Structure 1
Amino acid sequence: MRCLAIALLAACASAPLNESIDRSAILRVMSAAADWQLAHPSKHPPYDWTQAPFWIALNVFAPLSSDPQRYLAAVRRNGEENRWRPGLRPLCADDHAITQSYFLLHRVEKNPAMIEPALQMFDAVIRYPFDESLEFENWEKTWRQWTWCDALFMSPPALAMATRATGDRRYLDFMNRMWWKTTDYLYDKQEHLYYRDSRFFGTKIFWSRGNGWVLAGLARVLMEMPSDYPDRPRYVALFREMASRIVTLQSSDGYWRSNLLDPTALPLPETSGTAFYVYALAWGVNEGLLDRRAYEPAIRQGWAALVRAVHPDGMLGYVQRIGDQPGDTSASGTEIYGVGAFILAGTEVYRFTSAPSSPSSLW
C-alpha cells in the first residue's frame, strides 16, 4: 500500500499545475479546479450540503479571478435553480449550508429575494426547543439536533450571516447556544479534537474531514460574528486550541491523513480535510489570530500537497467520498465539496502570500 501511495503521488507531482506558491500559480490552479467542476456538474441535488462549499468558494474566489462575473453568474444560476431555498429538512443543519452562498451573493447584488427563504426558515428554526439528547440514535431524531460535528460547518455560519444581513441578534444567539451544546458533548478536551458523533466515544478515532468541517466552520463563524459579541473570545480560544493541535498531526508530505491519530491505517493522501485545515490556518494567520512564523510551514506544505493532487485537467483527486468516519481515497476520487474546500484554501493562501495586511473589518 505504501509503495502504491508513493507511486500515485509521484504521478500527480509531474502534472503541469505544480506546487508553486506564487500568487499567479495560486490563481491558475484555483481557476483550473473551478472550471473543471463547472464543466462536470455534481449529481447531488443543487441544494445539498455537498454542493455548499463549492458555491461558497466561488463567491469568494470570483473577485480574485480574471472573470468575476462568470463565476458569480454560476452561483446565481444555482440559487435560481433552487429558487433560493435551503434544503428540504428545516431542522437539519446539513440543509442550511447552501444558504451561505445565497447570503454571500446577496452582499454583492443586494437582492432580498436571495435570502428571504433562508430567513423564513431560520425564523421557524430558532423557535424549536432543541432540548433533546445529542446521542446519535435513529436518523429522524438525529437530524433534529447538531449531533454530528460536521453540523458546525453547515448551519452556524449561515445563522451568523442571517444576523449580519438583518441586524437581528436572535439568529446569532441561537447559533451560540447550539454551538456550545454540541461542543460540550463532542469535543475531547484532552485531544483538542471533535468526535464525529457519540458512536465514536471511547475509541479515540478522530476523522480528518470531520474536524476540518469544524475548524473551517469555526473560522467562518468568526468571519461573521461582530467584534463585540460577548462570547466571541470563547470562539477565538477554541480556534487557537484546535489549530495548535491540528498542526501537530500533519504528515511530512503536507497532507493530513483521514484518521488523524493513526495515519498509517489509511496512508493515502486525503485532500478534503487537508484543504479545510489549510483554509482555516491561513485565515487565522491572515486575521492575526495565529502566529505567522509558527504556522507558515504547515500552510505552505499543506498547499503544496493539495496542488500535487490536482490533475492536469484541473480535477482534484484524493477526496474521501461521502462518509462519517476515516476512509480510503484514490488519485481519481473527487467530490464537489472537496473542490470547494480546495478553492477556499486557495483564497486564503492567496491572501497569505501577499504583504501582511490588517485583519478584515468586523461589523
Structure 2
Amino acid sequence: MSVGMNLRMAAWVCVAGIATSSAYAQDGGRAARNKPNAAQQAGITKDNSRHFGDDPDDGGPMAKLSPKLNRAAVDAAARKVADWQLARSEPYFDRIWTWSVLYNGFVAASDAMGDPKYRDAMERMGAKYEWKLRSKTPNADDQSVGATYEEIFMKKKDPAMIAPLQADLDAALARPFVAKDDLHAIEWWWCDALFMAPQVWARMYAITGDKKYITYLDDEWKKTSDLLYDKQEHLYARDKSYLGKTEANGKKMFWSRGNGWVMGGIARTMPFLPKDDPNRAFYALQMREMAAKAASLQGKDGLWRAGLLDQEDYDQPEVSGSALMTYGMAWGVNEGILDAKVYRPVIERAWKGMLAHVYADGRLGCIQQTGAEPAPFKPTASYTYGVGGFLLAATEIRKMAKH
C-alpha cells in the first residue's frame, strides 16, 4: 500500500466511555474511514452555519448514564439530551427536514414523560410560521414539518393549525406529477422521503377520515419500494443513482441512516393507517425483513456503521442511523410485529451503545452530517435529526420498560 493510500486511510474513531474526545484515533491494522475531503468539509461547514449542529474538536467529558431499561434511567438520558438540544436550538427553529425530525422527537418525549415543555416549544414554532410549510409546492422534505403541526392539532383541535397543510396536500393530489429526469422519475425518489412524507399523509387521514390521503401514501411508497428495496439484502438503496454502487470491499452500498429513515418511517406511519387497510401487511413485512437484516449487522458496541455492509472501512459508529433503526425495532416489539425475545437484546445493546456517545452537558455525538451516503465525521458531531431519532428511540424503549 502506498504512503498516499496510508494517509487517505487515516480515520476518526469514536471512543466511548473516556473522559474526553478531543483526540482522534487511528486504527493500527484495519482499514479506517478517511477524513472529509474538501466537498464533504464544505457540507459540514454549511450545516454548522445553518445551526443544524456542530462538531467541535473537544466535546468535554462524557455523561455517566445508566443503560438499564427502566423508565427512570431512560427518562434521565432522554431529558439530558432533549434539554441540551432545546436550549441551544430554539432560536434557530426552521421548517426544513433537519429540524422536523427533531420536532418529532420533542413531541414524543413530551408525551412519554408527561413534560409539556418540549411540546410547548413545538407549538411556539408552529405559531411562528403560521402553521405553513416551507414552500408552496413542497416535496417530501418540506412536507415533513406538517407532522408536528398535526400532532399539535390533535391535542389542541384548532383548525388553523392544519388548514394550510391540508390545502397543500390537496393541491399536491390535484397536481400531475412531472418527472424532471431519470433520477427524479417518481415522487418519493429517495428513501429518506419514506420518513418525511408518509407520516404526514397518514395523520391527515386520521384527522379527516378521507382515504384519499392513504391511497396516495400507499401508491407512492410502493413505487419507492419497487425501485429501491433490495429483495435479497432487505435494505434500501438511497436513490436510483446508488443501485450500482459498491463499497471498498465490493459489497453493495447501503447507508445506515437511509435505512433508518425507512424503518422509522414505518413506525411513524403505520399507527395511523386504517385497521382494515390491506397494505398494513406490506409495511409489517418490510419492517420484519429490514429489522432482521439490521440485527445481523449490529456492531459489537451495539451500533451500526454508516456503510452497513462494510464495517471495516467505516470503523466508527454512526448514531443517527443507529437511533432510527433502534426506534423502528423498539416500536415493532411494542406493537407485536417483532419478536421481543429476539429483538430486545438487540435494542438493549443499541441503547447502551448510544448512551456511550452522550456528553456530560447533553450533547449527543457521532452523528453524520447531512448527505446521501456514508461519510466521515468527528466523534463530537451532533446534529438535530440525530437527536430527534434518539428521542424517538427513547420513547419506544421506555414503553418496553416494566417500571
State TM-score, norm by structure 1.
0.91
User: How far 1:135 sits from its partner (Å)?
Assistant: 3.4
**Is 1:254 matched with 2:296?**
no
Map 1:1-363; keep pairs closer than 5 Å.
5=13, 7=15, 10-11=18-19, 15-41=63-89, 46-65=94-113, 68-88=115-135, 90-130=137-177, 132=179, 135-136=182-183, 142=184, 145-203=187-245, 204-354=252-402
- The 1-side partners of 2:380 and 2:338 are apart by 34
Higher gyration radius (CA): 2
Query: What SS does the aligned partner of 1:79 have?
Result: helix
User: How far 1:331 sits from its partner (Å)?
Assistant: 2.0
- Deviating more after overlay: 18-27 vs 187-196: 18-27
Deviations 1:110-157 (A, max 9, x none): 111111111000001112233638832xxxxx3972111100001011
Preserved contact between residue 194 and residue 262 of structure 2 (Cα < 8 Å): yes
User: How far 1:18 sits from its partner (Å)?
Assistant: 3.7
Preserved contact between residue 134 and residue 145 of structure 1 (Cα < 8 Å): no
CA RMSD of aligned residues (A): 2.1
Aligned residues: 349
- The 1-side partners of 2:298 and 2:200 are apart by 29
User: How far 1:65 sits from its partner (Å)?
Assistant: 2.6
- Deviating more after overlay: 329-338 vs 292-301: 329-338
Structure-2 change in CA distance of 1:44 and 1:70 (3 Å) = closer
Structure-2 change in CA distance of 1:144 and 1:184 (3 Å) = closer
- The 2-side partners of 1:95 and 1:271 are apart by 24
Task: Show structure 1 runs of 5+ residues with no match.
Answer: 137-141, 356-363
- Deviating more after overlay: 255-264 vs 19-28: 19-28
Preserved contact between residue 238 and residue 254 of structure 2 (Cα < 8 Å): yes
- The 2-side partners of 1:3 and 1:181 are apart by 38
- The 2-side partners of 1:302 and 1:2 are apart by 26
Structure-2 change in CA distance of 1:221 and 1:7 (3 Å) = closer
User: How far 1:20 sits from its partner (Å)?
Assistant: 3.1
Letter in 1 for 2:116: Q
- The 2-side partners of 1:14 and 1:94 are apart by 33
Query: What SS does the aligned partner of 2:97 have?
Result: coil
User: How far 1:43 sits from its partner (Å)?
Assistant: 7.9
Same amino acid, percent of matched pairs: 37
User: How far 1:328 sits from its partner (Å)?
Assistant: 1.7
Letter in 2 for 1:176: D
User: How far 1:264 sits from its partner (Å)?
Assistant: 1.6
Preserved contact between residue 64 and residue 360 of structure 2 (Cα < 8 Å): yes
Task: Show structure 2 runs of 5+ residues with no match.
Answer: 1-8, 21-60, 246-251
- The 1-side partners of 2:217 and 2:113 are apart by 33
Query: What SS does the aligned partner of 2:79 have?
Result: helix
- The 2-side partners of 1:29 and 1:2 are apart by 32
- The 2-side partners of 1:316 and 1:46 are apart by 20
Letter in 2 for 1:117: P
Structure-2 change in CA distance of 1:91 and 1:187 (3 Å) = same
Letter in 1 for 2:126: G
- The 2-side partners of 1:315 and 1:181 are apart by 38
Preserved contact between residue 62 and residue 71 of structure 1 (Cα < 8 Å): yes
Preserved contact between residue 14 and residue 317 of structure 2 (Cα < 8 Å): no
User: How far 1:69 sits from its partner (Å)?
Assistant: 2.5
Deviations 1:188-233 (A, max 9, x none): 1111110001111122100000010011001111111111012211
- The 1-side partners of 2:386 and 2:362 are apart by 13
